[in-house]
Structure 1
Amino acid sequence: MGYSPLPPEKPSASDIAKLNKLLVKAVGHWDYVAIEEALRLGADIDHHIEYSSYTSGGTLMYHAIDLQDPCFFDLAVKYGADANKGASKTSPLRIAVYKGSLGFCQKIVELDGFDISDPLNRAAFSLAESKQSENLRHGQIYRFLKRVFEGGNGWEKSSDETVEYTEINADYTVEIKEVFNFRAAQMTRVTRDYATAHTDIAHRYFSEIPREGRGRLHEAFEELQKQGGGAGIDPGSFSQPHITRYNKRDR
């Protein structure tokens, strides 16, 4: 009759304290092997690490982002780091925003356990909003986090007669906004390239849109109605020719 091996004993509190000290020392020396060994033996993955009087203290994940070190980050994730815990008054996401790292922002929000409602993460989004105009990188981060925190399907009512659809490219540098004004029967397409600071604006009346493109108008109108707008607007008028009215003084 065979015997199942006994599960490994959990380290005692004093053992964990010793392992935590080894972890701090290993981080200070950027010793990836020693870091993993300490974690494997039971060091606290969310232990507050302060290895120098010249650096801020925080978790391993905090230091990964502060030092922009993907190996630290991978080790933190491997051993189950708290995605919301960085330092006493900041989260990993907030330090990623401060550092201007879109890549780390994207990785953090995808981690299991990331809490969008955590006050420190909400503060990170507020920081991104305040820094969006500083440079291209922070603008990219804000546009990315806006999608994460505010969600939605891209459609947003701007008035009872107008709805907008916003689309952003993969690296968050080009924004395309389609504005459907059902009172004026006009669509405006705004293409903004944040990398070149160029904006292109094109207007078209609904009656000028080809038949194959009319489905987009009805989709926009349905979204406007879903969000409480569109009262008194006849969808059948979308294809009617636009008539420009002039006052006598304009002639």
Structure 2
Amino acid sequence: MYIDSHCHINFPDLAVRMPEILAKMAENKVTHALCVSVDLPDFPQVLALAEQYPHIFASVGVHPDYEDTPEPTVEQLVELSNHPKIVAIGETGLDYYRLEGDLEWQRARFRNHIRASRITKKPLIIHTRAASADTIRILQEEGAGTDQGGVAGVMHCFTESLEVAQAAIAMGFYISFSGIVTFKSARDLQAVARVVPLERMLIETDSPYLAPVPFRGRTNEPGYVMHVAEYIATLKDVPLAEVARQTSANFFELFQFARQ
């Protein structure tokens, strides 16, 4: 079986095709998916999907790219996460690629998510782009990670260096690979995937974005996560069944609330 550890099936282009999306998951043996929140106004849609389908889980959080959106407080995140189908806090983190200027608001938002994670004991879903040094620094300053007695999480849609991956793993985090790892241009990322232990790895689609080869350029969906697993199996020269088994076990090890 496969698990899509990060998708956005509440987004309009997927939500209108939900029966088809779920059928493709079943056809490709994708048994569970985590629908990830990106802002508070749309959070009810994310939660509704998780409540409707037993094999769909959800998170609560505000993406660092969303500048003009209600700012989440620690108290709000804690309250909204108090639901059995909410298994994580995020996605959160830092993104210096798309936004410029004074980004202290982004760092403050990130800290609020980490603090909510520590209170709720629910893991973090981390987005980082062109900001890896500050991301690791703030995680350490806020006591995230099992090495500091906090709750760990996942570095989602990972595209950073091996050094960043190793720093995150040392804190107890998992590294999640998306369809990007299948791209011909992603040689550096493929080298990282060869080294990251399978025991610390998750797979995802980040759908509707970043469809893996052979579907690159199309709308992505959870059913395609098997192609990420297939590519990783080839990279690491291990049986596909082992990638499927271990990444699924890793999902439930990290997202403990999904076991309930």
- Settle same-fold status: TM greater than 0.5: no
Question: Which TM bucket (shorter chain)?
Answer: under 0.3
What TM-score, normalized by structure 2, do the two folds share? 0.26
Superposition TM-score, scaled by structure 1 size: 0.27
Q: Considering Cα pairs closer than 8 Å and 6+ residues apart, tell me whether 1 or 2 has the greater RCO.
A: 2
